[in-house]
A and B are shown apart, each in its own frame.
Chain A
Amino acid sequence: MLLNMLQSATEQGLIYAVLALGLYISYSVLDFPDLSVDGTFPLGSAVTAVLIISGANPWLCLPAAFLCGAAAGVVTGLIHVKLNVTNLLSGILMMTALYSVNLTIAGRSNLQFYTQPTIFKGALARLLPERQAKLVIIILCVVVIKALFDLYMKTKSGMLLRACGANEQLVKSLSVDSGKIKMLGLAIANGLVSLSGSMMCQYNMGFDITTGTGSMVIGLASVIIGMTVFRKAKLMGDTLKVVFGGVIYYLCISASLMLGLKPQLLKLVIAALFLVILTINSKLFKGGAADA
């Protein structure tokens, strides 16, 4: 019983780890507190639900969700770069607009597809022992996503992205449009968030418009937990820290639910927990991320 709950919490934590990787790009790498993720997470879910119900291959839903999220990220970037709207406001605008977009895509505020195939029910799942199938498939996805992510960060484009967050002037000096690099970063970030939304939707066999609320906080908390808990682990890459951060965070949330927390209080606890993390974090590294 306890083991089951632990397993399902780990599964969901790993799905949120993909969201956290997205937040790692926008928040840590680009230094852009991007609130559009509260809209791009359910965007991935909505797109996936509609595709699956119309009979599409569930695996294809993952790249499809990524692309939709990326497109939304580009729009957030355009609002910020071309129209000179502050980064926070650009994200809020996008999040608000996406609420309607998501409802329009899904047609209503929730959609179930219990009988349709998902990545957890396909040929791959049948090869695996039934009880571990979901966990194995999620781990597989996260490993592949993390590997591609790490590889990208070592490319010329990825290195420029890292430089852009730390020193935008350098990017300009290298004769590159730093605005485009920000858009690229937001595209990847929101692509990952949307991908995470797609996985979560397949995991829950349904789309629900409310799942987006708090995505930013969940992702950011995961990033900060990972970076803080493992700050002394020199050999551990940032992305691994972030992935573990996502798992740890979700385990905490599940534990509080198990200990009898009323579900309607969940977001309140999430916000409170985030505040605690921010406070601890800024005490550890003076001025750290407290200005989020």
Chain B
Amino acid sequence: MLELKDICKTYNVGLINETKVLEGFNLSVPKGQFVTVIGSNGSGKTTILNLICGTIFPNSGKIFLDGSDVTSMTEFRRARHIGRVFQDTQKGTSPNMTILENLSLADNKGRFYGLGMGVNRKRIEAYKEMLAPLGLGLENKLDVLVGSLSGGQRQALAMVMCTMTDIELLILDEHTAALDPKTSELIIGLTNKIVREKGITTMMVTHNLRHAVSYGDRLLMFHRGGIEMDLSGEARRNVDVDDLLDRFNQISIESGN
């Protein structure tokens, strides 16, 4: 369970380029909920995700993860409980290492990285079983350098890596935006499968309205640092892409652009 209480975030406080993004922002996501988030550029989506992950810190307000206050916890400590996939397909893996080495690193998350052998050969079969369902043939390329994989393959690997250990929260920031349409479908399908199988609480930002309505239990539309629309249950099931487009248009007319 994730909770943001009265969050205020202003970038560059006291400078001429001071930007107030959030003011008294509140959000509560119950355990196991899959939330999709849409909103125009600059509406504060990435800011929220960065605050949740500890990449940046709020000027005021509190953040709770599973009941404990993580507001001032550093990013790397919080990462113990959070998995994250970025839009940038370079960010989730290490290009100078093989698929096997990348998986081995991720497999050890939460434990000490000491002088034990980095790759545990006994785990290879388990890794292959994780990769086979992706349908990308990665299970036969364990010794290939990740840097030579396509963006889609890297993103699929990143999804597997960040969900292979137990996490409480999965954060996805436009993680299919840099992919071609076909690969994007593949990754979103994979995402849905993993999230549902493991029942991980998830926040997924997307610009793809069809993805936003086809996946998840709850839909949020952000606008200027606030939640413009929050749909779940019946209302969430009945919404379609056209409704969202209408709402987007309405918002931009209201804000005069």
Contacts and interface: CB of A to CB of B under 8 A. Distances in A.
Interface string B90-130: 11111111000100111011101111111100000000000
Interface residues of A, number: 23
B79 interface: yes
Nearest to A160: B113
Contact of A156 (B75, B84, B117): B117
A195 B45 CA distance: 50
Contacts of B224: none
A166 B106 contact: no
Contacts of A159: 97, 101, 104-105, 113, 118
B162 A173 contact: yes
Nearest to B78: A175
Contact of B94 (A154, A166, A172): A166
Nearest to B92: A170
A162 B96 CA distance: 8
Given A162-B94, A170-B91, A173-B84, A156 B115 contact: yes
Dominant SS among interface residues on chain B = loop
Interface in B10-65: none
Interface residues of B, number: 33
B115 A167 contact: no
A169 interface: yes
B95 A166 contact: yes
A167 B95 contact: yes
Interface string A139-157: 0000000000000101111
B105 A163 contact: yes
A89 B248 CA distance: 49
B80 interface: yes
B79 A173 contact: yes
B198 interface: no
Contacts of B79: 172-175
A34 to B, nearest CB: 19
Contact of A154 (B74, B83, B109, B117): B117
B116 A174 contact: no
Interface in A27-48: none
A167 B101 CA distance: 14
A31 to B, nearest CB: 11
A134 B86 CA distance: 54
A108 B84 CA distance: 55
Given A155-B114, A174-B105, A169 B76 contact: no
A152 B116 CA distance: 9
Interface of B: 74-77, 79-80, 83-84, 86, 90-97, 101, 104-106, 108-110, 112-119, 162
6 contacts: A154-B117, A160-B105, A170-B93, A175-B109, A175-B110, A176-B76
Interface of A: 152, 154-160, 162-163, 165-167, 169-178
In the A-B complex, the 3 residue pairs with the smallest Cβ-Cβ separation, listed nearest first, are A159-B118, A163-B94, A175-B80
